[in-house]
Amino acid sequence: MNVLLQIDFPYEGPFREEMTQAFETLAESIAQESGLIWKMWTENPTTKEAGGIYLFVDHASAEAYLKMHTARLESFGVERIRSRIFEVNTSLSRITNAPL
């Protein structure tokens, strides 16, 4: 069963194209993570938040990534990291055009 991981945290920037340039190498690394199907990067310059929505093949992969990524973010000085893990109802999600 696919599992969705949501992570967000306070973030001062950069945003948009500058964020893309700053984190392209990190994105390439994340793309290689075990069990990852895809990640959508999220950003909100108005509220100064960033994060991502991830789809993993299973709960174990999502948990392992969350542990590793939380440690990485904390090593960058990020605090107040919020995360949630959800099981995906694939049947209903397909009806509503989810990118599965």
Tokens 């973030």 identify what position? 11
Helix (H, G, I), strand (E, B) or coil at 31: coil
DSSP 81: -
Per-residue model confidence (pLDDT) at position 4: 97
Q: Identify the CATH assignment for 3-94 out of 3.40.50.720, 3.30.70.100, 3.20.20.210, 3.30.450.20.
A: 3.30.70.100
Domain layout of the chain by residue ranges: 3-94
pTM for the model stands at 0.91
- What residues contact 57, with CB distance under 8 A and at least 6 apart? 2, 3, 35, 37
Per-residue model confidence (pLDDT) at position 100: 80
Strand order in the sheet with 36-44: 36-44, 49-56, 3-10, 82-87
Number of CB atoms found within 10 A of residue 76's CB = 7
Per-residue model confidence (pLDDT) at position 99: 86
For each successive 10 residues of the chain (100 residues), what is the average pLDDT? 96 95 96 97 97 97 97 94 97 92
Per-residue model confidence (pLDDT) at position 45: 97
